[in-house]
Amino acid sequence: MVTLKDIADEAGVSIATVSNVINGNLSKVSNDNAKRIRAIIENRHYVPNSSARTLAVKSSHIIAGILMGAQGANMLKDPYCAEFFGELVGAVQDRGYYFMVRYVTSYDEVIKSLRSWNVDGAVFIGTSEVYSRKIQEEIHIPLIFTDSYTTQQNINNVGIDDFKGGVLAAEYFLKMGHRNLSFVGYTYPLMEKSVVPERLGGFLSVFKSHNIEMSDKQFFYVPESAPDDCLNNIASQLMEDNGGITGFFVSADKLAFALIRTLSNNGIKVPQDISVIGFDDLSITSDFMPGLTTIRQNISRKVQIVADLLFRQIEGDNVPPVNTMLDVELIERGSVKFLSKKRKENT
Amino acid sequence: MVTLKDIADEAGVSIATVSNVINGNLSKVSNDNAKRIRAIIENRHYVPNSSARTLAVKSSHIIAGILMGAQGANMLKDPYCAEFFGELVGAVQDRGYYFMVRYVTSYDEVIKSLRSWNVDGAVFIGTSEVYSRKIQEEIHIPLIFTDSYTTQQNINNVGIDDFKGGVLAAEYFLKMGHRNLSFVGYTYPLMEKSVVPERLGGFLSVFKSHNIEMSDKQFFYVPESAPDDCLNNIASQLMEDNGGITGFFVSADKLAFALIRTLSNNGIKVPQDISVIGFDDLSITSDFMPGLTTIRQNISRKVQIVADLLFRQIEGDNVPPVNTMLDVELIERGSVKFLSKKRKENT
DNA sequence: GTGAAAGCGCTAACAT
DNA sequence: ATGTTAGCGCTTTCAC
């Protein structure tokens, strides 16, 4: 293994000088030496030892990507996580940092991984409010939480405007002449306030302001682990007595797809028989569902915001914590049927 | 930050003793001390410093996951990579190791990342033959390549039986009465021998042994970055003069889906008008294409084999390199139509 | 069973 | 502009 000392010896200088050229402290090195040393470094394929550097300066240039979830789960399999982290890896490397993925099931594991490696910053997916507060108290490096509806102050959070997503869906349904709709969402047992209720909240707010009532019977919650039974129930109920429902707002594209499939198996066609609006518009889901009208969150942009904030806080001095809410937009494709104008103007 | 020294001081022992209880060298520590020290460690929330440890022993307990590809690409977005790495992260952590993801575009970057962190082992996706040989020569830690049809000896590789996958598809088509088929695959420009040609090779071998000819015109290569134009051409050609083709073997499920969609846009239905067999059966694609008959590769098992091999080589002494080829199976669903027995027995 | 001390490769403060 | 040196936190050898 080639070390600083080897380079210094070969160049006939001290290790401090070599260290300075490596770290770009050119003011302290003569041009002549700098050039010669760089050549030797190149020649000998010298690679600085990150552990030694970390030990000396207490900063590793490692960014941790923390996924909180159930023990043994393949969390990257989730297309949102994969796309988000996949993008983040690039952003982190572009800035000369390294990316460590970490699955954790408890608060304790987070603290340990972060401390153990002198991690410079961390990005979280799926962290509950209690945890994020505790982590923030223990660890004093830049921490970015995502999609976390924490009431906690002084915490970095980057989320999307889930409420507006619901509003956009509702308004579009109204515009297309729909007035009797239903909601299908994944259950999120752990969190009080979270993305799903927000999406629903936005959706309902529009109908409320139009004095259109929705009954509890029109909300369906589906377990993420085993959605099929629930979806089948929805289909059966629809066939028995649809109560005049003309469309579904679904909290995730993947779930929308499962719903559409289940309906289709029961002879109910989208959008002919019933309309559907999804949520997310990940690149993979749009590959598979080119016809789904949905609420898009722009993941590239989300990662860009996360990375900017993270590195501003790491490199800059006292950038205050911010809670960013990114915009969403409705992507109109073909899964919502236009109902008669008459019906629409009945409003 | 709490260090070994702090613990030692509080316990009234030397740092060597504390180090020994942490590393489980119980033979060198009295039960009494061990117990007391453990309590203090717990109390003070002591977390060992991985960089210091790495510096001292030259082993970081870091496993690198290397993705070779184009600059700026989101490589984890690919569902295969996401599922594979997602599973690998779990396997690595289960053994007490850390996982670092690294996008690389050149041989040089691989060497640097691996050396810089004293990485204990690395797993590669998408590495060309030239690179894998050079890396292997430079870096003497356990290296596992995947799906690499290298002719190189003494290299760890874990792949699947792509050839057999092609054979299974062909045999199934024959069994279902199909005799005039076409192949659609992604182009893999970089590699001479690789998964796609193998799959095609297996497919063709069956027809050859049945004395059924296939012309070059029946092979279509589609660029992964922009498949649509190509697929449209295939559809047009099919409508103009299908040459009696009754089915497609497609080198990846995702591509199969795109093909089916394109055909459907042109009024050609699967399996009524034409049959399709895909390849991969990732969990996400089966979510989206529940009806596709396909060749399954078992990713969980692949990761298990990779991890076993990796850690046997890391922890064991001289485990020789192996080239493992995992089995594949045909998953029969609904995308291949059964043609008349008459036609079949015409063979 | 326990401790002292050298050393891993690097940075940074301080001398020169 | 360059060199000397004291750590950073840990493991490990060797003496006790």
- Edge-first strand order for the sheet with A293-297 is A219-222, A181-186, A247-250, A275-280, A293-297, A328-331
C-alpha–C-alpha distance, residues B292 and B34, integer Å: 59
Q: Within 7 A of a protein CB, which nucleotides of strand C?
A: 1-5, 7-13
To the nearest whole Å, the CA of B80 is away from the closest chain A CA by 9
To the nearest whole Å, the CA of B48 is away from the closest chain A CA by 6
* Residue range A185-200: mean pLDDT, rounded: 79
3-state secondary structure of B56: helix
> Taking a contact as any Cβ pair under 8 Å apart, which residues of chain B between 229 and 258 contact chain A?
254, 257-258
* Residue range B276-282: mean pLDDT, rounded: 96
Please write down the long-range contacts of B148-153, taking CB distance under 8 Å and 24 or more positions apart: B148/B124, B149/B191, B149/B193, B149/B194, B149/B195, B149/B198, B151/B193, B153/B321
> Taking a contact as any Cβ pair under 8 Å apart, which residues of chain A between 142 and 171 contact chain B?
none
Cβ–Cβ < 8 Å for A107, A71? no
- Name B338's Cβ contacts closer than 8 Å, sequence gap at least 6: B176, B177
Place of tokens 């289940």: A262
C-alpha–C-alpha distance, residues A297 and A299, integer Å: 6
**Residue A61 CA to D1 C1' — how many Å?**
29
C-alpha–C-alpha distance, residues B89 and A64, integer Å: 13
Residue A344 reports pLDDT greater than 50:
no
3-state secondary structure of B340: coil
| DSSP at B95 | T
Residues of chain B neighbouring A123 (CB-CB closer than 8 A): none
Closest residue on chain A to B287 (Cα): A258
C-alpha–C-alpha distance, residues A320 and A312, integer Å: 10
State the maximum Cα–Cα separation within chain A, in Å, rounded to a whole number: 89
C-alpha–C-alpha distance, residues B189 and B187, integer Å: 6
Establish if B57 touches chain A: CB-CB under 8 angstroms: no
Q: Do A82 and B76 touch (CB under 8 A)?
A: yes
C-alpha–C-alpha distance, residues B60 and A230, integer Å: 47
Place of tokens 């515009």: A175
Buried b (16+ CB within 10 A) or exposed e, B69-81: beeeebbbbbbbb
C-alpha–C-alpha distance, residues B276 and B265, integer Å: 16
Cβ–Cβ < 8 Å for A325, A161? yes
- Per this entry, what is the length of chain B? 347
| DSSP at B119 | -
**Residue B20 CA to C6 C1' — how many Å?**
18
pLDDT band at A191 (very low <50, low <70, confident <90, very high): low
3-state secondary structure of B105: coil
Measured between CB atoms, which of B50, B86, B102 is closest to A74?
B86
**Residue B42 CA to D12 C1' — how many Å?**
25
**Among positive and negative, which fits the CA dihedral A193, A296, A216, B287?**
negative
**Residue B45 CA to D13 C1' — how many Å?**
29
Instruction: Tell me the two tokens of residue A32.
Output: 């002549």
Residue B265 reports pLDDT greater than 80:
yes
Q: Is the C-beta atom of B55 closer than 7 angstroms to strand D?
A: yes
Q: Do B87 and A74 touch (CB under 8 A)?
A: yes
Establish if B76 touches chain A: CB-CB under 8 angstroms: yes
Please give the share of chain A, as a percent, with pLDDT higher than 90: 80
* Residue range A264-293: mean pLDDT, rounded: 92
- Name A339's Cβ contacts closer than 8 Å, sequence gap at least 6: A176, A177, A178, A246
pLDDT of residue B188: 67
Q: Are strands B181-186 and B219-222 parallel, antiparallel or unpaired?
A: parallel
- The total of other beta-carbon atoms located within 10 Å of residue A197's CB is 18
pLDDT of residue A345: 45
Instruction: Tell me the two tokens of residue B192.
Output: 């001479």
Calculate ∠ Cα B92-B96-B97, nearest 5°: 55
pTM, two decimals, is: 0.94
**Residue A231 CA to D15 C1' — how many Å?**
73
Please give the single-letter amino acid code of residue B300: S
pLDDT in tens, A145-182: 999 988 888 999 999 999 999 999 999 999 999 999 99
Cβ–Cβ < 8 Å for A296, A113? no
Cβ–Cβ < 8 Å for B184, B203? no
Please give the single-letter amino acid code of residue B235: A
C-alpha–C-alpha distance, residues B306 and B158, integer Å: 7
pLDDT in tens, B211-257: 998 888 889 999 988 888 999 999 998 898 888 899 999 999 999 99
Residue B134 reports pLDDT greater than 60:
yes
Instruction: Tell me the two tokens of residue A24.
Output: 């770009």
Alpha carbon of residue B166 to chain centroid: 18
Report chain B's terminal Cα–Cα distance, integer Å. 77
Question: CA Rg, chain B, in Å?
Answer: 26
* Residue range A94-123: mean pLDDT, rounded: 97
Residues of chain A neighbouring B87 (CB-CB closer than 8 A): 74, 77
Q: Which alpha helices (DSSP H) does chain B contain, by range?
A: 4-11, 15-22, 31-43, 50-57, 79-94, 107-116, 129-138, 162-175, 195-209, 228-240, 253-265, 283-288, 299-315, 341-345
pLDDT in tens, A55-76: 999 999 999 999 998 999 999 9
Residue B190 reports pLDDT greater than 60:
no
Short-list B116, B61, B69, CA closest to B92: B61
pLDDT band at A225 (very low <50, low <70, confident <90, very high): confident
Instruction: Tell me the pLDDT of chain B averaged across its residues.
Output: 92
Cβ–Cβ < 8 Å for B206, B167? yes
Residue A342 reports pLDDT greater than 80:
no
Please give the share of chain B, as a percent, with pLDDT higher than 70: 96
| Disruptive mutation site among B46, B53, B75, B77 for chain A (greatest number of A CBs within 10 Å) | B77
3-state DSSP of chain A: CCCHHHHHHHHCCCHHHHHHHHCCCHHHCCHHHHHHHHHHHHHCCCCCCHHHHHHHHCCCCEEEEEEECCCCCCHHHCHHHHHHHHHHHHHHHHCCCEEEEEEECCHHHHHHHHHHCCCCEEEEECCCHHHHHHHHHHCCCCEEEECCCCCCCCCEEEEECHHHHHHHHHHHHHHCCCCCEEEEEECCCCCCCCHHHHHHHHHHHHHHHCCCCCCHHHEEEECCCCCHHHHHHHHHHHHHCCCCCCEEEECCHHHHHHHHHHHHHCCCCCCCCCEEEEEECCHHHHHHCCCCEEEEECHHHHHHHHHHHHHHHHHCCCCCCCEEEECEEEECCCCCCCCCHHHHHCC
Cβ–Cβ < 8 Å for B157, B125? no
Q: Within 7 A of a protein CB, which nucleotides of strand D?
A: 1-5, 7-13
Instruction: Tell me the two tokens of residue A28.
Output: 């302290």
Q: Do B102 and A100 touch (CB under 8 A)?
A: no
Report chain A's terminal Cα–Cα distance, integer Å. 77
Residues of chain A neighbouring B77 (CB-CB closer than 8 A): 82-83, 86-87, 283-284
pLDDT in tens, B157-177: 999 999 999 999 999 999 999
| Run of H or E including B296 | strand B293-297
Alpha carbon of residue A108 to chain centroid: 22
